[in-house]
Chain A
Amino acid sequence: MDIRVDTDACVGCGLCVKDCPMDVYELRDGVSVPVKPKNCMGCLSCHEICPAQALEHRGIYPARRHYIDMRVCEMLNRVI
């Protein structure tokens, strides 16, 4: 897995470090660094918890998401 952290966006809160079950991240000089990207199994909990939306996973398998309410997404896209 290729994991990238937007170092300008990262606020160094360490939530991804704590939340990742595979200890993929470490905080170094106030930003998150993916030190063990090969241990990532693609759960995306880190994306859900990161308040700065600073993370990017390349090469991930996106699970089916039929539960999403498309009307809400369309509305959000109009607003944003």
Chain B
Amino acid sequence: MMTASYIDELHESFHTDIVYRSEDIPLECTPRPSEMEETLHGVMKLNGLIIRSLEEIAGRGANAVTYRAGKKFGHEIAKYFQKRDDVEEALHELSDLLRGQYTFEVWKPEDKENFIIEEDGQTFIYLVFHDCIVRQTLRRNGQEQGGPLCQTLFGYVVGAIEEITGRRAKLEIVHTGPNACLKKLILK
């Protein structure tokens, strides 16, 4: 089981003294991307265009393609992880590995006692994704969140969890926002 102190530490790392006001206009990106700004925008633009074209040609099939691509990636990366049964520990390891690209934490609403929630015959864990390269790409291109590009992330997490724990899983969107997204990792 994941220890309480690890969870406290993880939550602490997402707590700041920053005051965020609606009217704030950002003056700098952190860390400064000036060195790689053009390349980064080019890559994001290209990814956005590929996804848009894929949607135009394959329709709803686009989700299946991107999900599968993400899943392959997840299996590939997690092949080198130590195999373990505990999903929470697997998530811990995965969040360390993905920090910066897809920074996430396990999360629960205040009325729930545990991070592993059993509700309506489902066993699941809420994940809050903070930093996400998919969200950045979509917002850079004015595309909606929740579409095929998000499916790559879904596939990635599911593939990695399956590889590490040997358990089948599914990731569902609960909410997408400009600063964080809430997902549900459903365990089978």
Pairwise interchain contact A21-B25, C-beta atoms closer than 8 A? no
Interface of chain A, main secondary structure: loop
Report yes or no: B178 in contact with A45, Cβ–Cβ below 8 A: yes
Find out whether the CB atom of A53 lies under 8 angstroms from the CB atom of B110. no
Q: Which residues of A contact B139 (CB under 8 A)?
A: 67
How far apart are B23's CB and chain A's nearest CB, in angstroms?
5
Residue B5, interface by CB 8 Å: no
Q: How many residues of B contact A (CB 8 A)?
A: 44
Interface size class of A (residues with CB under 8 A): 20 to 34
Docked complex Cα distance between A59 and B13 (Å): 11
B56 within 8 A of A: no
Selected from B14, B29, B41, B100, the residue in CB contact (under 8 A) with A61 is B14
- Chain A residues contacting B103 (CB-CB under 8 Å) are 63
| A58 vs chain B, min Cβ distance (A) | 5
B63 to chain A, nearest CB (A): 22
Give the CA-CA distance A63 to B134 in the complex, in Å. Answer: 12
The 4 closest A-B CB pairs, nearest first, are A43-B177, A67-B140, A53-B22, A44-B179
Given contacts A43-B181, A63-B131, 7 further A-B contacts (CB under 8 A): A22-B109, A41-B107, A42-B130, A43-B179, A44-B179, A53-B22, A67-B44
